[in-house]
């Protein structure tokens, strides 16, 4: 019984993430890539993402501080970040990246900074939510993953 | 693989049957500093049965490409990378090889995409990369081989074509609207060339048609450039080219077409760009970007929607915009001028009852995806072709994967394993192959470089917007059977079937970052499968030798093992040789690629190699030769080349042995 409750919980958690716009269909795509050989693919990918994105954010932060005039560089970092985020389906984050990009285009350094703060914050939230999700998922067990509502 | 010829009133058509699991085994190198993207794209590619090598650094990737000539079929590269700009990598790869390169990035800015196009990328995919885009990536490789294949045009085909040409093809000039409206298949320049040739040659004599191969054409172009297009006379060009097989008349007719083409495309100013004959088709002609942008002037048609296939989604082939690199245009010109009936193209039976359509199918084209787009916009012929009952073409292209393959499972080609065939069937179904190839072929062949506004607008209307369009390339184009035939030969280092029972077709490779392994192609039952001899291969490409048992020996070798392989294609015979790559390429921060001597495949019997132009030689020799014998795939090697990240992140599953 508890197992099925867990499953339900996982399902609804995931659904929430989608409903609230944290995740988009790319996340489903990742799930589709999971198979017997890579049963934890999504989780691995997400872990990789958070490691990499933290590095990227550090780069951006440093660039904002030390070289705020180089919008091209900032934009380049942000494109990388956006690429990464979109690859796991991090929808809100991606949007924030777009905002940042626009600020770069406008060469609005203050706008960039503010936007970046939002990016950081969204990043933190997503990380928390996904960590909780995967924790639960692990409890459910690999064979019993909640089916994605594609 | 079976090859059948279809004669008849039209040009002879060669139908190639693809092996069941095409495009499995396609060797893709992915370059991206983002480990996440590397991971996901790699998984995507593996699920599509491609052989993937990943690399986080551009310089490493470049070394790999250099060290393993012929070791890859396709490259995917990120745009924004810390160590090297993706476009720079694109340029370098383009200058040293003719590998098709696809750019990937989250950046979908028009200027960035444009840069990709002008620098010679065959496609641009916006992140996140989706499976739909990856599934049909093989088309770029096929296209490339089509270009190479032109080199092999046999005289026999030329004569057939000649006959076909004389069978009442429309002789009107390209600009003749009437002929378009009449629905006569217009070969434009091809026709023109026929006419020229017939006029210039004494009528009763049928000379074998001169095939203006890539090399020939480039030699021609450089001669013309040196002389100056206005001053270039056939005699002098001939002298400069110094090619024994062509006559002054050949040159004259080609020059006439070239001049027309140049005039139409207004590329006089960029002629010097053409002197660089080294680039097969990816001339990084930055200087022509402005020119390319305007492209053939299309009054009233400002950048038809399909020009920039920019889509923020990663769907299929994203932008391949309007611009054609200069060299591509020339290639296109050249391919048009070839009058082809080049045997390679094939009529998919479904769509090709129409003789005209059939005859339109030409080999094609040195076109790359963006060329096709360009062509769509600029070539009046297209319209004609389109009206030739190519309704399937005119229909909005189904989402990328809808094109028709003549994938006749050959009973003679044993499937290596049930799993494979099932998987491939699935893959095929998913890809939903339909029969639009013809239209592409027509399109391609119809390229004359000349602009017929009416037709163009007609065509443009017909051409659907990016969404319906298959990436940079219209679906049909890539499906020319001949290309498959050749492609399959060259693409897949196939060798035998390594599938072990335990491995499902899309098992994810345990070695994520590149590993080059010693791989021995395995036959269906695990025996080593020898590579096809080069001659056989080429024969096969030419279509002169239908091969029955083609399939089993290919393509599957490394899918299951996660080993990136450059295994040579097998053929039917049993030779223990196999192209192998030893050494693990560790793509974390540095490459330690010890490519063993065996890697490059130069064991081709010299006599056969010499027959072919270098370009092809590389292809053939690199890909078809099996070198030293190699043992069974050492699956343990799967672990050798993990990058740090992979090691940290991966929990390798049970390794099927």
Q: Do B507 and A52 touch (CB under 8 A)?
A: no
Highest mean pLDDT among A27-31, B294-298, B419-423, B646-650: A27-31
Longest dimension (CA), chain B: 74
Mean pLDDT check: name the lowest of A2-6, B106-110, B146-150, B653-657: B653-657
ipTM: 0.90
> Could you say which of A41, A51, A84 has the minimum Cβ distance to residue B43?
A41
> Could you say which of B36, B79, B650 has the minimum Cβ distance to residue A84?
B36
The confidence band for B161, taking pLDDT boundaries of 50, 70 and 90, is low
- Cβ–Cβ < 8 Å for B71, B622: yes
**pLDDT by residue (tens digit) across B504-563?**
444 444 444 344 444 444 444 444 444 444 444 444 444 444 444 433 444 444 444 434
**pLDDT by residue (tens digit) across A28-65?**
999 988 888 888 899 999 999 999 999 999 999 999 99
Instruction: List the end-to-end C-alpha distance of chain A, in Å, as a whole number.
Output: 25
Number of residues written out for chain A: 150
Task: Report, as an integer, the average pLDDT of B401-405.
Answer: 37
Can you give the pLDDT at residue A123? 94
Residue B192, exposed/middle/buried by CB under 10 A (0-12, 13-18, 19+)? buried
Can you give the pLDDT at residue A116? 93
Can you give the pLDDT at residue A49? 93
Can you give the pLDDT at residue B100? 92
Can you give the pLDDT at residue A129? 93
B77, B104, B106, B645: best to mutate for the A interface, most A CBs within 10 A: B106
Specify the residue for token string 């690859």.
A87
- Cβ–Cβ < 8 Å for A114, A96: no
Can you give the pLDDT at residue B319? 39
Which chain B residue has its CA at the smallest distance from A105's CA? Answer: B109
Can you give the pLDDT at residue B340? 41
Q: Is the dihedral of CA B108, B112, B117, B119 positive or negative?
A: negative
Average pLDDT along chain B: 55
B622 vs A90 pLDDT, higher one: A90
**pLDDT by residue (tens digit) across B71-84?**
899 999 999 888 89
Can you give the pLDDT at residue A150? 43
CA distances from residue B571 to A120, B4, B416, B575 in whole angstroms, order as listed: 56, 19, 14, 9
The answer to whether residue B85 scores a pLDDT higher than 80 is yes
Which chain B residue has its CA at the smallest distance from A82's CA? Answer: B106
> Could you say which of B35, B36, B508 has the minimum Cβ distance to residue A38?
B508
B-chain CB neighbours of A37 within 8 Å are 504, 507-508, 510, 653
CA separation for the pair B199, B192 (Å, rounded)? 10
- Written as six digits, the tokens of B158 are 């030329």
The confidence band for B248, taking pLDDT boundaries of 50, 70 and 90, is confident
Can you give the pLDDT at residue B207? 55
The confidence band for B610, taking pLDDT boundaries of 50, 70 and 90, is very low
CA separation for the pair B74, B5 (Å, rounded)? 30
Highest mean pLDDT among B11-15, B268-272, B577-581: B268-272
Can you give the pLDDT at residue B310? 39
B226 vs B472 pLDDT, higher one: B226
Can you give the pLDDT at residue B31? 94
């Amino acid at each position: 019984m508890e197992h099925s409750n867990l499953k339900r919980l996982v399902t609804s958690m995931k659904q929430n993430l989608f409903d609230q716009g944290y995740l988009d269909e790319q996340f489903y795509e990742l799930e589709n890539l999971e198979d017997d050989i890579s049963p934890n693919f999504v989780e691995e990918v997400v872990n990789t993402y958070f490691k990499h994105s933290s590095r990227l954010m550090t780069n951006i932060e440093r660039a904002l501080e030390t070289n705020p005039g180089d919008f091209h560089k900032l934009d380049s970092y942000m494109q990388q970040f956006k690429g990464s985020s979109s690859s796991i389906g991090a929808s809100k984050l991606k949007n924030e990246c777009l905002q940042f990009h626009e600020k770069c285009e406008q060469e609005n350094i203050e706008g960039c900074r503010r936007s970046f703060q939002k990016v950081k914050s969204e990043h933190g939230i997503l990380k928390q939510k996904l960590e909780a999700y995967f924790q639960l998922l692990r409890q459910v067990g690999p064979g019993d993953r909640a089916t994605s509502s594609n | 693989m079976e090859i059948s010829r279809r004669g008849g009133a039209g040009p002879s058509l060669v139908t190639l049957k693809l092996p069941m699991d095409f495009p499995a085994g396609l060797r893709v190198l992915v370059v991206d500093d983002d480990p996440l993207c590397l991971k996901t794209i790699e998984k995507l590619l593996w699920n599509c049965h491609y052989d993937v090598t990943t690399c986080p650094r551009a310089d490493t990737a470049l070394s790999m490409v250099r060290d393993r000539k012929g070791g890859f079929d396709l490259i995917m590269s990120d745009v924004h990378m810390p160590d090297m700009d993706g476009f720079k990598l694109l340029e370098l790869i383009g200058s040293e090889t003719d590998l098709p390169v696809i750019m990937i990035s989250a950046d979908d800015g028009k200027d960035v995409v444009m840069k990709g196009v002008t620098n010679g990328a065959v496609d641009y995919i916006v992140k996140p990369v989706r499976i739909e885009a990856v599934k049909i990536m093989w088309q770029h490789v096929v296209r490339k081989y089509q270009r190479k294949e032109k080199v092999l045009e046999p005289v026999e085909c030329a004569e057939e074509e000649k006959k076909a040409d004389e069978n009442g093809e429309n002789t009107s000039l390209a600009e003749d609207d009437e002929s378009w409206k009449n629905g006569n298949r217009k070969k434009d320049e091809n026709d023109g060339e026929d006419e020229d040739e017939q006029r210039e040659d004494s009528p009763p004599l049928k000379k074998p048609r001169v095939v203006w191969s890539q090399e020939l054409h480039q030699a021609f172009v450089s001669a013309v450039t040196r002389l100056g297009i206005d001053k270039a006379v056939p005699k002098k060009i001939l002298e400069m080219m110094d090619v024994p097989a062509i006559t002054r008349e050949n040159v004259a007719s080609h020059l006439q077409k070239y001049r027309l083409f140049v005039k139409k495309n207004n590329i006089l100013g960029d002629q010097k760009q053409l002197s660089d004959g080294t680039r097969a088709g990816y001339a990084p002609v930055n200087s022509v970007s402005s020119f390319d942008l305007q492209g053939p002037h299309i009054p009233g048609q400002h950048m038809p929607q399909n020009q920039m296939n920019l889509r923020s989604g990663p769907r299929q082939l994203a932008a391949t915009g309007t611009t054609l690199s200069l060299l591509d245009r020339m290639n296109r010109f050249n391919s048009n001028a070839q009058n082809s009936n080049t045997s390679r193209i094939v009529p998919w039976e479904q769509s090709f009852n129409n003789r005209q359509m059939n005859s339109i199918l030409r080999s094609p084209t040195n076109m790359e995806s963006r060329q096709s787009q360009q062509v769509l916009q600029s070539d009046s012929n297209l319209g004609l072709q389109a009206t030739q009952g190519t309704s399937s073409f005119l229909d909005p292209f189904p989402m990328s994967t809808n094109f028709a393959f003549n994938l006749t499972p050959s009973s003679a080609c044993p499937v290596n394993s049930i799993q494979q065939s099932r998987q491939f069937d699935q893959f095929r179904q998913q890809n939903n192959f339909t029969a639009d190839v013809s239209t592409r072929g027509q399109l391609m062949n119809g390229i004359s470089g000349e602009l017929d506004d009416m037709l163009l607008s007609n065509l443009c209307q017909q051409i659907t917007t990016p969404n319906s369009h298959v990436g940079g390339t219209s679906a049909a184009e890539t499906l020319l059977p001949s290309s498959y035939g050749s492609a399959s030969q060259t693409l897949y280092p196939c060798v035998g079937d390594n599938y072990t029972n335990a491995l499902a077709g899309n098992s994810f490779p345990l070695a994520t970052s590149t590993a080059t392994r010693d791989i021995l192609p395995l036959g269906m039952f695990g025996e080593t499968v020898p590579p096809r001899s080069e001659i056989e291969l080429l024969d096969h490409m030419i279509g002169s030798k239908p091969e029955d048992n083609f399939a089993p020996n290919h393509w599957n070798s490394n899918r299951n093992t996660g080993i990136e392989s450059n295994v040579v294609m097998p053929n039917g015979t049993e030779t223990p040789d196999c192209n192998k790559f030893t050494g693990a390429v560790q793509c974390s921060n540095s490459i330690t690629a010890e490519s063993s001597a065996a890697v490059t495949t130069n064991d081709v019997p010299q006599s056969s190699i010499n027959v072919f132009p270098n370009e092809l030689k590389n292809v053939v020799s690199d890909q078809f030769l099996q070198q030293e014998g190699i043992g069974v795939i050492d699956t343990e090697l799967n672990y050798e080349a993990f990058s740090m990240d992979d090691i940290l992140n991966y929990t390798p599953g049970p390794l099927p042995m």
